[in-house]
Structure formats: C-alpha cells, structure tokens
C-alpha cells in the first residue's frame, strides 16, 4: 500500500522528492540558506571588505594625483623662462595694430604712416560681348619675380569669360575678373596682383592672332600699353621714431624687433611695449592656489576624526607621507640667489594650517622692480636649480606615467584586486561545492523521512485493520 502526501505546489511519493522539505515537512530550504549565508559571511565577506578598502585607497590616490597634477601644471609654468618674457602692447591712435613676441624690446614708439601698400590692377579696353571669340595664341602673365603663367587660347577658352577662368585656374599670383562699366563696350578683363608692393608689378604679353592682340599687353617699362593701369602698385611708407621704413605689404614685420605692425590707414600712432607683469603675477597666484588645493586634499585624505573614530583613506600610508614631506621640504629650501632665496621674500608665506598666502604689494614690487631675480628664483640659472624647477622635478618622480611612485602604487593595488578576485572565485566555487553536498544530503534525508512516514502510515493502517477484525 502506498500513501501519498500532497501540498498546493509540490508532492512527495515514496523514494521521490520534487521539492526539498516536502517529504519531511522540515524547512530544509531555510536551513540551506542559513548554511550558505554562514559560509559566505565566513569566506566571502572578508574578501569583499578587503576589496572595498583597496578600492577606497585607489580612489584616494586618484584624488591625490589630480591635485598634484594641477600643482604640476602651475609649477611647470613658473619653471618656464618664457613666462617671464611675456610682453603686452597697446596702441594709441588709429590705423595701426601690433602683435608682439618675447623678442620684442620694451619701450614707446611713435609710428607715422604716410602711405599704404597696394596691389597693382590692370584692365583691358572694353568689348561688346564677353562671349565673343578673341583669337588664338599664348597669353603670358608675370608678377614680380614669380614664375610666369602661360595661357593657351584655343576655341575652347578664347572668350573673355574663358580667359578669366583659365587665368584663375592656373594658380598664379594674379586674379582675373570681368567688370561691366555700363558703356557700349562694357566688358573689361581686370587683372589684380595677389600681393601688394612695387615688387609685385605685372607684365602681360600676347603672342597670337585675333582681337586679343589689341586687348592684352602691359609693361612698366613701356610707353605704349594695350592695358590700362587702374591701380598702381605701391609700398607702405612709414616712420618709426623718425626712421623711414618701406614695406611691400601692410603687415610690417621687421621694423621693430619682435613686433608685427598691421597698418590699415595713414596717420600717427604711439605703440607702447612693456613687460606683462600681470600675467607673471597670475602665474604665481595659480601656483599658490594649486598648492593650497593640494594641501586641503592631503589633509582630507590623511585626517583622523577622534569623535567619530574615522580615518582618511591614506592615513599612515608611506607613499603619501613621502609626497607630503618632499613638497614641504621644497617650500623651505633656500635658493641660491643674490636677491631672493625664500618664498617669503616674495611675499608668499606658509601658514600654520599648511596653506600659502600672498602679500600682493610685496609680490608686485618684486616682479615689477626685480623681475630678473624673480626669474632666477623660480627658473634657476646655469649653476643653480630654481624653486619651481626643483618642485617640478620632484613632482615628476611621483606622477611620471611610466615609473612614477603613485602610478606604481596604484598598479600594485590593482594587482591586489585581481588576486582577491581570483581568491573570491575560488571561495565561491568551494561554497558551491559544499552547498551541492548539503543539498544532496538534505534530499536524501527528506527522502528517507518521507519513506519512513509512508511506512508508518502503512503500518498504522494495517494495525487499524487488524483491530477492526477483532
């Protein structure tokens, strides 16, 4: 006789279990869950906690690296001699603008422009129709010392429009256009030199037949030209502090050392060139701001809160301590300089909170009146290393992408994470095997209890039957 026990979602028959616990009536699933949770708490949670700590440390190193990189950018600017060569220029008057390089010489310059440079323009006589064939031959155009362009006039291009297009397609130093002057013979071909100045005058010749022979031809040396000069080539004429200057273009690059003048009109102007002390002071301020940001970041990453018993992610970290001690030492180092040896002499002082502050008046006086010594202090000389140069070197040992100490530490931490991930997977595999074994054992127990229950039910039925026979 077989006894069957049934539930709403699963059933058990003698020797067969379709849902764990159905046969025995025990909450075996909960027991298995508790056993698995205990295994995970014992074997996996410590690994997860260690991974969390390492990830927090990697994040902290990223924050520190970002602050140091900003400081490095500011320091490299101070370590660059070009920073202290910066100039600013201003022009009073009209018709002249100026751009300077570090080669310019500070001073005040009077500029008088009496003539602008212009490009020569030549025009043919007019014809009635711009599509009329003008003959065949060779049109040659030379601009100054440039290589001549030769246009072969054939039936495919020997109209005024065709000649215009052929000249422009040739890619020479001349531009051709057609002007309609409104007369009975309105269409005139106009040639304009692409460059200004007397050295870019044009010579035009034609060797061939047809009306083109009467339209084309020009030379500055000739008294009889078929073409008319409508705009003469001219050089720019100006004086700089009373000295005469001639320029082929309206961009004058050699009149003043390190200065490019752009002239747009005649008249008198005054150019003032001076050291850009504001940009130098700004660079020093940027360094102070970057250092203070770094100092604040370092405090946060290494602080300890006794009230909350919490610590920064890099508290006690040896690499972090080395960074902090190196930069602190750099701030106090004496620089061999006749005028400035310490930051404090420039008006930059270190407070008890570890941040820098600036006395603006002292700094401005140093930069304005002793710029050469300020440059030597930050950049250094042939014999000594400068303040900014020294810090830049130290920062490079920490931040170098190939072998910087911070990069090496983060790489080691990532390697540790990889090892922990492998360890985690091994422990997970172990837990899975243990739980598989428990599941098999619990299934066997469930089956056994189910069978015993079935046997007990059978025996009870039989005893009841025997009793009823009596």
Least reliable range by pLDDT among 19-23, 310-314, 352-356: 19-23
Of the two residues 184 and 8, the one the predictor is more confident about is 184
Q: What mean pLDDT, rounded, does the chain reach?
A: 88
Q: How confident is the model at residue 108 (pLDDT cuts 50, 70, 90)?
A: very high
> 21 or 40, which is more confident?
40
pLDDT interval class at 173 (50, 70, 90):
very high
User: Hey, which of 49-63, 265-279, 297-311, 432-446 has the most confident mean pLDDT?
Assistant: 265-279
301-317 in b/e burial notation, b at 16+ Cβ within 10 A?
bbeeeeeeeeebbbeeb
d(CA 229, CA 253): 29
Q: How confident is the model at residue 316 (pLDDT cuts 50, 70, 90)?
A: confident
What does the pLDDT average to over 401-427?
83
Supply the pLDDT for residue 142. Answer: 97
Give the pLDDT band (50/70/90) at residue 198.
very high
189 phi and psi angles, rounded to 5 deg = -85, 130
354's tokens: 């570890």
Q: How far apart are the C-alpha atoms of 337 and 388, rounded to whole Å? A: 14
Provide the percentage of residues in the chain whose pLDDT is more than 90. Answer: 60
Judge whether residue 5 has pLDDT over 80: no
Of the pLDDT bands very low, low, confident and very high (cuts 50, 70, 90), residue 27 is: low
Quick check: 143 and 195 in contact, CB under 8 A?
yes
How confident is the model over 372-386, as a mean pLDDT? 91
Residue range 96-103: mean pLDDT, rounded? 91
- Give dist(CA 378, CA 370) in Å, integer: 13
Mean pLDDT of 382-393: 91
Distances (CA, A) of 242 to 44, 135, 253, 274, 441: 87, 54, 17, 21, 109
pLDDT at 8 over 70: no
Which of 30-39, 150-159, 279-288, 365-374 has the least mean pLDDT? 30-39
What residue has token string 């059933």?
Answer: 11
Does the pLDDT value for residue 10 go beyond 50?
Answer: no
Among the listed ranges 19-23, 99-103, 374-378, which one has the minimum average pLDDT value?
A: 19-23
Average pLDDT over residues 455-470: 73
Q: Is 117 left (phi over 0), alpha (psi -120 to 50) or beta?
A: beta
**What pLDDT, on a 0 to 100 scale, did the predictor assign at position 203?**
97
Least confident piece of the model among 121-125, 329-333, 347-351: 329-333
pLDDT for 338 equals 67
pLDDT at 384: 87
pTM strictly above 0.75: no
Query: Tell me, what's the pLDDT at 441?
Result: 79
d(CA 396, CA 400): 5
Measured between alpha carbons, how far is 157 from 149 in angstroms, rounded to an integer? 16
What's the pLDDT at 96?
96
**pLDDT for the residue numbered 468:** 72
Are the beta carbons of 360 and 290 closer than 8 angstroms?
no
Whether 11 has a pLDDT exceeding 80, the answer reads no
pLDDT tens readout for residues 345-361? 999 999 998 999 999 99
How many Å apart are CA 352 and CA 375, to the nearest integer? 28
Query: 310 pLDDT exceeds 50?
Result: yes
* Residue 1, pLDDT above cutoff 50: no
Residue 16's pLDDT band, with cuts at 50, 70 and 90, is: very low
Distances (CA, A) of 171 to 148, 150, 254: 11, 11, 29
User: Which residue, among 361, 360, 387, has the nearest Cα to 373 in the 3D structure?
Assistant: 387
Whole-number pLDDT of residue 32: 79
Specify the range with the lowest mean pLDDT, choosing from 165-169, 328-332, 395-399, 464-468: 464-468
Query: Whose CA is closest to 319, among 389, 421, 390, 411?
Result: 411
pLDDT classification of 3: cutoffs 50, 70, 90: very low
Q: What pLDDT sits at residue 9?
A: 35
Say if residues 231 and 118 touch (Cβ distance below 8 Å).
Answer: yes
- Local confidence band at 24 (pLDDT 50, 70, 90 cut-offs): low
How far apart (Å, rounded) are the C-alpha atoms in residues 16 and 325?
73
């Amino acid at each position: 006789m077989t006894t069957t026990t049934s539930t709403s979602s699963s059933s058990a028959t003698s020797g067969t279990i379709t849902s764990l616990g159905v046969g025995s009536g025990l909450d075996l699933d909960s027991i298995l869950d508790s056993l698995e949770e205990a295994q995970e708490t014992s074997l996996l949670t410590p690994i997860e906690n260690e991974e969390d700590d390492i990830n927090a440390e990697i994040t902290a190193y990223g924050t520190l690296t970002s602050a140091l990189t900003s400081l490095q950018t500011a320091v490299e600017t101070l370590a660059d001699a070009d920073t202290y060569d910066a100039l600013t220029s201003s022009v009073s008057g009209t018709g002249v603008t100026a751009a300077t390089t570090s080669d310019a010489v500070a001073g005040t310059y009077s500029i008088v422009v009496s003539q602008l440079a212009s490009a020569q323009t030549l025009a043919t006589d007019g014809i009635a129709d711009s599509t009329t064939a003008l003959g065949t031959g060779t049109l040659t155009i030379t601009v100054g010392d440039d290589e001549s362009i030769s246009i072969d006039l054939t039936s495919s291009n020997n109209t005024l429009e065709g000649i215009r297009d052929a000249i422009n397609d040739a890619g020479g130093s001349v531009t051709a256009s057609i002007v309609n002057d409104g007369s009975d013979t309105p269409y005139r071909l106009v040639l304009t030199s692409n460059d200004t100045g007397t050295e870019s005058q044009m010579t035009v010749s034609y060797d061939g037949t047809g009306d083109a022979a009467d339209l084309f031809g020009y030379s500055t040396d000739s008294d009889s030209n078929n073409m008319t000069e409508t705009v003469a080539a001219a050089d720019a004429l100006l004086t700089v502090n009373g000295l005469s200057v001639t320029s082929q273009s309206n961009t004058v690059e050699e009149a003043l050392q390190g200065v490019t003048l752009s002239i747009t009109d005649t008249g008198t102007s005054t150019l003032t060139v001076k050291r850009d002390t504001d940009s130098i002071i700004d660079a020093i301020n940027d360094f102070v701001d970057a250092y203070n940001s770094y100092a604040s970041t370092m405090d946060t990453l290494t602080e300890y809160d006794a009230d909350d018993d919490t610590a920064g992610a890099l508290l006690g970290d040896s690499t972090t301590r080395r960074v902090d001690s190196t930069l602190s030492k750099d701030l106090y180092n004496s620089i061999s300089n006749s005028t400035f040896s310490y930051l404090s002499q420039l008006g930059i002082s270190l407070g008890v909170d570890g941040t820098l502050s600036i006395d603006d008046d002292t700094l401005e006086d140093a930069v304005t009146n002793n710029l050469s010594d300020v440059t030597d202090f930050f950049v250094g000389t042939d014999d000594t290393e400068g303040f900014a140069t020294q810090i830049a070197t130290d920062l490079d040992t920490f931040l170098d992408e190939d072998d910087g100490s911070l990069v090496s530490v983060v790489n080691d931490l990532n390697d540790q994470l990889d090892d922990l991930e492998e360890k985690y997977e091994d422990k997970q595999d172990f837990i899975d095997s243990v739980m598989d074994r428990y599941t098999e054992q619990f299934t066997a127990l469930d089956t056994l209890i189910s069978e015993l229950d079935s046997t007990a039910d059978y025996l009870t039925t039989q005893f009841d039957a025997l009793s009823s026979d009596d």
